[in-house]
Structure 1
Amino acid sequence: MPDNNNDLTLSAPLSGPVLTLGNVPDDVFASGAMGDGIAIDPLNDCLHAPCAGVVIHVARTGHALTIRADNGAEVLLHVGIDTVELQGEGFALLVQQGARVSNGQPLVRFDLDRIARQCKSLVSLIILTNGEQFELRPVAVNAVKVGEALLRIVARQAGVVQPVMADTAEAHASASVRITHRGGLHARPAALIRKTAQGFSSLSQLHFAGKSASCASLIGLMGLGIGEQDEVQVTCRGQDCDAALQALVAALSLTTAEAVQAPVIAAARPVNREAGVLQGVCAAPGLVCGPLFRLNSIELPEDPRNHARHEQLQHLDSALEQVRGEIRNTLEHARQRQAVEEEEIFAAHLALLEDPTLLEAATAAIEHGSAATHAWRDAIQAQCAVLLGLGKPLFAERANDLRDLQQRVLRALLGEAWQFELPAGAIVVAHELTPSDLLQLSAQNAAGICMAEGGATSHVAILARGKDLPCVVALGSEVLAITQGQRVVLDAANGRLELNPDDARHAQVHQIRDAQKQRRQLQQAQAHAAASTLDGVGIEVAANVASSSEAQIAYDNGADGVGLLRTEFLFVDRRTAPDEQEQRQAYQAVMDAMGDKSVIIRTIDVGGDKQLDYLPLPAEANPVLGLRGIRMAQVRPELLDQQLRALLQVSPLQRCRILLPMVSEVDELLHIRQRLDELCAELQLTQRPELGVMIEVPAAALMAEQLAEHADFLSIGTNDLSQYTLAMDRDHAGLAARVDALHPALLRLIAQTCSGAAKHGRWVGVCGALASDPLATPVLVGLGVRELSVSPPQIAAIKDRVRHLDAAQCRQLSQALLNLSSAGAVRQACQHHWPLS
């Protein structure tokens, strides 16, 4: 229904209750990443056109389509959540792509019952995908029938920021703020802004130098070219605009720095003054020698531009979904390994892959006849050109993340597997590698990496350091002319690629590496032996695992036991909860993998940022402060009862220890202990497994003495304890580098926990990331920790670290650390007292 001034009123395409996007049970839609809109919980089985227009896109599975209205507004209609998994079954398309439709015309018939049974939700979306040209104004209704007025689409006035009007029907708020993020608004701070905006229902935008971008679009935000100390305007429109504005101003004015640990961070190419040596910049230290292997990027032939639109759109949809799945798998593995930086990088990639600006550009090219391959490449390159044209190194480096997505999606479209036959010990050279390239090369045992371009602050550099993979960047185009297979020496710590090393240099490199390898082998040879300090204090070094296969790896690596089994692996990524039998078998498999060693099994820790599809929880303003961990037992006691029954049936029971997460008061522990005793009686058990408490909130640390009176042991989760003590979200892009568990305040809480436990003869372990940090080992030993639960690959090194310590000296020096001013000061003192060789 067109209105004056090119505005448009959309009629309801379905009948049913109306929901705001914030109440949609899907993160992508609820965040506004796909665009602004509204939702309906349908009561009928036919989707109707909300306006007159042309069908410009139909999903290959028939569950979604997009209409371009006569005024240019593009409206996505999406039936149900996760309905793509039905692969078109239960959907009957009544129109084709390119068809002209009238307002109210039937578009799709669908099987309501089937969607309700097999999919996440029936809730259906009406999304405006080109919100940069229009804005939505919902009509105030709680429920609608097909054909009734639902939304008004109002054309924006080009290049003008709407002023705040005191008498407007919709609340507005705006402010100016100076950007203090180091390097400006590049990918990581842009992701922070996007994440912040997602916490509010208001539509938020940034305005700079005559341009505007939605806070929902990473590419749009980066494309503004906002630099450090630039002043921008923030506008928010919606019911919670004041709160959204306050949060966005705080996020924009937060001082952050790239987490760069390389000796040199500038990417400017040094002048080469030595014959036979290319000089670059160290991105990850190390010394290796080996044959050089050149990696080339994908090149596409000329595009005839006469392709069938529907077919190419299907190809692109399939490729995008394949790559999204790959990235989600990478994210899950990163979370399991607690590789925080890797997780952040690929979470940003996933957000970029769902960015409406990028997807719209590719779709528009396909609509004009381009092949999906060329449309995707051109969409990426256009955005890269914007970033590169800004003339700022950090923005240029972030364009590499876009090129990563270009290569990944092109491989999926072309059906090419990422597979190369690397020579043994190869040093890989490329113009510029991407994060996914690096993960693949690491998996194929590349010895080192060198790039013609790139920077030491890039995501590739961060990943290379995490993988302990020597890497040099900014070597210049000369590196691409080196003969394939030529033997070279990569001295990454000094940024050097030696092209003609003589036999003596080869021998020296091998000698240095052999010494390092010998030390690691010696550590591994002693990994199965118990670890004691020089003065005879025994420290148990256990492992953090999330499955029986990981438990087997831990056992093979010399773990003294399992210090933390995360049972969430049984409950996530499924539509129903595991039953008691399935749980018992899974826990028994872990017990069996560990031989005669003890296994500490943490009860399910969901809620907060860990949600289960089949366990709907109320929306919470601060999920990490809400219903999570043991608090779930208060609202779903049957879930914990079932898990406890399964745990009580493992054999032998005396090797099983149960650990309770997120305990904050003694009564919670007493309640679970009583319930455990009742279940033991029901199962006619004469013994009860040890029951421990996780110390991960400050209240628990301060009450450690009282908790230890009723618990058999205490285990400190330094990850959560850090964020709750420092009031910093450990997943916050701008604060992650500051959430350091060696902060003196954390050490004081650890000291108090150990002191309180000792009064009742209880032992204390640490299962957080701090236990895996060798710099922290002497501090934890000195404060009284007697068990360290680490990632399996680090068991041998941590045991070796313990064997070189004097516990009495650790006690004396650790007490002094409690009075230092910062985590940085503590780390400096640790390096002085107990240097890492």
Structure 2
Amino acid sequence: MHNNNNELTLGAPLSGPVMPLFNIDDAVFASGALGDGIAIDPLNDSLHAPCGGVIVQVARTLHALTLRADNGAELLLHLGLDTVALEGEGFTLLVGEGARVEAGQALLRFDLDQVARHSRSLVSPLVLTNGEHYELRARALESVKVGDPVLQIVPRQTPRAAATPESSDDEVRRHARVAHRGGLHARPAALLRQTAQRFDCSARLHLGDRSASLDSLIGIMGLGVEEQAQVEISCRGKDREAAIQALLQVLQTPLAEDHPHAAPPPPIASRPVEAGVLHGVCAAPGLVSGPLARLQGIQLPPDPGGHDAQEQRQALNSALEQVRSEIRATEQQALSRGDHAEQAIFNAHLALLEDPALLDTTHQAITHGSAATHAWSQAIDSQCQVLLELGNPLLAERTNDLRDLRQRVLRALLGEACHYELPQGAIVVAQELTPSDLLLISQKDVAGLCMAEGGATSHVAILARARGLPCLVALGPALLEIAPGQQLVLDADHGRLELTPDQARLEGVAIARWQHQLRRQRQQERGLSPAQTRDGRTIEVAANVASAAEARQAHLSGADGVGLLRTEFLFVDRRTAPDEREQLDAYQAVVDAMGDKPVIIRTIDVGGDKQLDYLPLPAEANPVLGLRGIRLAQARPQLLEQQLRALLQVNPAQRCRILLPMVSEVDELLQIRRCLERLAGELGISQLPELGVMIEVPSAALLAGQLAEHADFLSIGTNDLSQYTLAMDRDHAGLAGRVDALHPAILQLIASTCAGAARHQRWVGVCGALASDPLATPVLIGLGISELSVSPPQIGEIKERVRHLDAAECRRISASLLQLGSAASVREACRQHWPLD
């Protein structure tokens, strides 16, 4: 209406009764997640501009517009609730995006009867979406007509706002494409927030015309950023340049997750109908039987209200601190085990506990007299609804993390120690288990887990796989109708929960389970023995590790060495590079942990999509094809030289082997060998470690003979070799399932590598994921591989697999597999020739 010193009075966009946002029947708007404002139940049939400004966004379904006022305030005008489902039916847009409008101008006409009949409600919110810069003052009104003054917007005069420079010279902006599978869900969002907090600057994430402060995890997830979305990061403040490089790295570097390409649940209509059987999705494999035991969350009685706000805040703060301590302890245990997936899960939980949107909503309810228990519970429910409304299945799964925090904080507030009374060997059933539930359950002697909801990519699924607990998810509401104590058979491998197994079936499952456990025990017992084929060929089975703790575990499991030590763990998540002494101590600790076994240490493999805060590099259009691996060493030689100096001093030198990543031509190898010899001379060292080359790009595989002439060994990284050969990004959600290293073209490159190495009597190993695939073991042996580097838990399994093979037969059959036309046909042939137990 009028604009005085950037103060703005808004006119009513509709005629009808007025109500505060928190009174409307919509958790997203009522929680204040989208901003503060009012709502009007319209009696007229057109939406009008509350002030002058520019239309910056129109919803695809025409039910909502965003208006940027002349003073910079951004206003969301949302016609009705759940009207997105109308797909534009009943709406007529009168202005377009980018149009300049005046106060009172008609923006949208709608069919009042049609919208009322086909939506949940006509109640229409008016929301200030960038309230961090403005204060909203509402008038006490019961009903309005179009144009009546309803709200006043006043710029905030806070220290933070005053400290924010207005000059664009102080702001840096960069675009990035989000590489995280499923977009910015809890873990990548938490990592983004955590990274931003390390720097002295203010950072925001922008998606189109919407943005969120990187202080708020809920705000980040609330943008609904999908995989491969183009976003923008803006940073203001002293550390803006370093911060933006670090944040770009987070956005463009996907998280490594167990079973990242697990299949989604099949549509309900396509699931088989079978009497006495519920069908679900396998989250963790296994076959078990046992009695049903149900787990239920904490139920709160009605809250009478009128509580002392100060007492409730103190109770909440104490409970939050208790839960933080518990989570930090769990996180530390995961770190000590080298379980990075579990560590990331609980790091995200810590971030959620500190989320300003969540805490503000809770404290606001406490201020109005709610009990801390109910305020916390309702805030969680509201934020869950925000994520569910986004329509992203992966974000919907992440609401389970919020429910987990609901349970943990409620237990702390209520003083309830969690004592799960579970029968031995039970199959635990719940609507949806939380990560903390699973940690407590896994301490009991239970057989397996079943959930009515949940997904195969959930945090609970990751934890269940890590603990070897068979788990089915998405079984549906019928699961919760089964009586406690009923005997069930959980066949997670085939997605089946059998409700009425007979005695013969139960005995068969028990025998199969006993045989599996016996087989695993036998594999572990024989893990310390060499892996030798039936015709006498010895295959070294080494371990891929990232720390001395993992190396110790691998040594105890019978690893013949470390086939790959990833040194990036020393360089990431810090402000400066590790010095020579720190690196030497870390490498020496791994060598010491492996007793008398050799250790292959890969030089730093960052660059392109994996940038370091202290080594800013220009953004690249195709990061995986850019400055990474050995190419970074050529661009920043001081980084590699410092690492080589540390590696040269590892004792004894004959047990340390150096591996160079991303080599694509012989000259790169020769340059590093000359550098290594020069540094050894400067240090007065006469015995040099062996120097090997990673075969990760097709050119290296085709030049294997020339490389082997100057290298001491070759190690094939099948993950990168697969994506470069097939021209498919292994982190692309739509293509990742097709990036299979048993593709005949990749097998031909492996065969070429082994043949080239044999001409110079060099050995070849595999350190990529294919080495850990038992189905591929005979093929790799047949093609000439003499070392397999696998994940530590699989050492015994792969060694046992080798012992059942005949190397000559493997050579004969593998040669024929090179002529097949697809990875699927290779896998089927492998199953026929070398069936798995």
TM-score bracket for the superposition, by shorter chain length = 0.5 to 0.7
Give the superposition deviation at 1:191.
5.3
- 1:670 lines up with 2:673 in the alignment: no
Q: How many residue pairs end up in the alignment?
A: 659
Amino acid corresponding to residue 307 of structure 1 in structure 2: A
For 1:746 and 1:7, the matched residues in 2 are separated by 67
Amino acid in structure 1 at the alignment position of 2:169: N
1:801 aligns with 2:801: yes
CA gap of 1:556–1:743, structure 2 versus 1, over 3 A, is: same
Distance 1:260 1:782 in 2: 29
Letter in 1 for 2:615: P
Matched with 2:526 is 526
CA deviation vs aligned residue, 1:679-732 (integer Å, no higher than 9, x gap): 322333332111011122333223322221211011112223333334444344
Rounded to whole Å, the distance in 1 between the matches of 2:350 and 2:609 is 17
CA distance in 1, matches of 2:230, 2:646: 53
8 Å contact 1:34–1:355 — kept in the other structure?
A: no
Render the CA deviation track for 1:276-318: whole Å, top value 9, x for unaligned.
xx74535355332345443221334544365249768967986
Equivalent residue number for residue 756 of structure 1: 756
Offset from partner CA, 1:759-805 (integer Å, 9 cap, x none): 22211111111110111212222222211000111111111212222
Cα distance, 1:142 vs. partner? 1.9
Contact 1:528/1:559 (8 A) holds in 2:
yes
Equivalent in 128, 131, 134 of residue 69 of structure 1: 134
- Distance in 1, matches of 2:530 and 2:539, equals 8
Residue 6 of structure 1 pairs with residue 8 of structure 2: yes
Give yes or no for contact 1:191–1:348 (8 Å, CA) kept in 2.
Answer: no
Kindly indicate whether residue 716 of structure 2 is the aligned counterpart of residue 716 of structure 1: yes
Name 2:645's counterpart in structure 1: 645
Asked whether the equivalents of residues 188 and 348 of structure 1 are also in contact (C-alpha less than 8 Å), the reply is no
Distance change (3 Å), C-alpha of 1:514 and 1:567: same
Residue 543 of structure 1 aligns with which residue?
543
Q: How does 1:570-719 map to 2 (within 5 A)?
A: 570-613=570-613, 615-621=614-620, 622-719=622-719
Which residue number corresponds to residue 169 of structure 2? Answer: 142
Answer yes or no: is the 8 Å Cα contact 1:331–1:346 preserved in 2.
Answer: no
Task: Tell me, yes or no, if the aligned pair for 1:692 and 1:712 is still in contact at 8 Å.
Answer: yes
Distance 2:712 2:423 in 1: 53
Classify 1:617/1:395 alpha carbon distance in 2 versus 1 (closer, same or farther; 3 Å): closer
Which SS does the other structure have where 1:685 is aligned? coil
**Paired position in structure 2 for 1:76:** none
CA contact (8 A) 1:313 1:363 kept: no
Equivalent AA in structure 2 for residue 70 of structure 1: E
Distance 2:375 2:181 in 1: 23
734 and 589 in structure 1: CA distance in 2 versus 1, 3 angstrom threshold: same
Aligned-partner residue type, residue 555 of structure 2: Y
- Provide the rounded CA distance (Å) in 2 between the counterparts of 1:391 and 1:105: 36
Give deviations 1:80-106, integer Å, cap 9, x for gaps. xxxxxxxxxxxxxxxxxxxx9997675
Distance 1:348 1:674, change over 3 A: same
**1:60-82: per-residue Cα shift (whole Å, max 9, x none)?**
xxxxx995623579xxxxxxxxx
User: Does 1:307 find its partner at 2:309?
Assistant: yes
Contact 1:287 1:492 in 2 (8 A): yes
Shift of 1:556: 1.5
Say if 1:523 and 1:796, in contact at 8 Å, map to a contact too. Answer: yes
Indicate conservation of the 8 Å contact 2:135/2:156, yes or no.
no
Structure 2: distance between partners of 1:728 and 1:443? 41
Task: Give the percent of matched residue pairs that are identical in Structure 1 and Structure 2.
Answer: 60
The C-alpha deviation readout for 1:214-264, integer Å capped at 9, x for no partner, is 89999899999999xxxxx999999xxxxxxxxxxxxxxxxxx99445997
Residues 581, 646 of structure 1: 8 Å contact kept? yes
Quick check: 2:133–2:156 contact (8 Å CA) kept in 1? Answer: no
| Conserved 8 A contact 1:361-1:379 | yes
CA–CA distance in structure 2, aligned partners of residues 825 and 367 of structure 1:
65
Residue matched to 2:381:
381
Q: Give the Cα separation in 2 of the matches to 1:642 and 1:772.
A: 32
Contact 1:269 1:475 (8 Å CA) reproduced: no
Contact persistence 1:327–1:350 (CA under 8 A): no
CA distance in structure 2 between the aligned counterparts of 1:769 and 1:584, rounded to whole angstroms: 28
Q: What secondary structure is seen at the aligned counterpart in 2 of 1:709?
A: helix
The answer as to whether partners of 1:264 and 1:456 remain within 8 angstroms in 2 is no
Match of 1:776 in 2: 776
Q: Verify the 8 A CA contact 1:293 1:427 in the aligned structure 2.
A: yes
1:805-820 to 2 correspondences below 5 Å? 805-820=805-820
- Paired residues of 2:557 and 2:792 also in contact (CA < 8 A): yes
CA RMSD across the alignment: 5.4
Which residue identity does 1:766 align to in structure 2? Answer: V
Q: Which amino acid aligns with 2:705?
A: E
User: Could you tell me which residue of structure 2 aligns to residue 251 of structure 1?
Assistant: none
Letter of the aligned partner of 1:650 in structure 2? V
Note closer, same or farther for the CA distance 1:756–1:478 as it changes in structure 2 (3 Å cut).
closer
CA 467–746 in structure 1, closer or farther in 2 if over 3 Å, else same: farther
Residue segments in structure 1 that go unaligned for 5+ positions in a row:
9-32, 36-50, 54-64, 74-99, 109-123, 127-137, 144-149, 152-169, 173-185, 207-211, 228-232, 239-256
The one-letter code sitting in structure 1 at the alignment partner of 2:695 is I
Highest CA radius of gyration, 1 or 2?
2
Matches within 5 A, 1:545-564: 545-564=545-564
Q: Is the 8 A contact 2:431 2:452 kept in 1?
A: yes
Distance 1:667 1:437, change over 3 A: farther
Matched position secondary structure for 2:565: strand
CA distance in 2 between counterparts of 1:757 and 1:555 reads 28
Q: Which moved more, 1:656-665 or 1:694-703?
A: 694-703
- 1 CA distance for matches of 2:375 and 2:427? 33
Indicate the residue corresponding to 2:207 in structure 1.
204
Paired AA for residue 525 in structure 1: E
Partner letter of residue 804 of structure 1? H
User: Would the aligned equivalents of 1:599 and 1:657 in 2 still touch at CA under 8 Å?
Assistant: yes
Q: Pick which of 590-599 and 415-424 moved more.
A: 415-424
Deviation at 1:527, TM superposition (A): 1.9
In 2, are the aligned partners of 1:775 and 1:831 still within 8 Å (CA)?
yes
**1:558-592 deviation per Cα after TM superposition (whole angstroms, max 9, x unaligned):** 11111112223334445554443343333233222
Query: Structure 1-normalised TM-score?
Result: 0.64
Contact kept, 8 Å, 1:289 with 1:487, in 2: the verdict is yes
Identify the residue that residue 182 of structure 2 maps to in structure 1: 188
The one-letter code of the counterpart of 1:691 is: L
**2-structure distance, mates of 1:814, 1:215:** 55
Task: Answer with 686-695 or 371-380: which moved more.
Answer: 371-380
5+ residue gaps, structure 2: 11-32, 36-70, 74-129, 139-152, 193-202, 235-258
Indicate if the aligned counterparts of 1:719 and 1:741 stay in contact, CA closer than 8 A: yes
1:353 positional shift: 8.1
Alpha carbons of structure 1 residues 692 and 491: separation in structure 2 relative to 1, 3 Å: closer
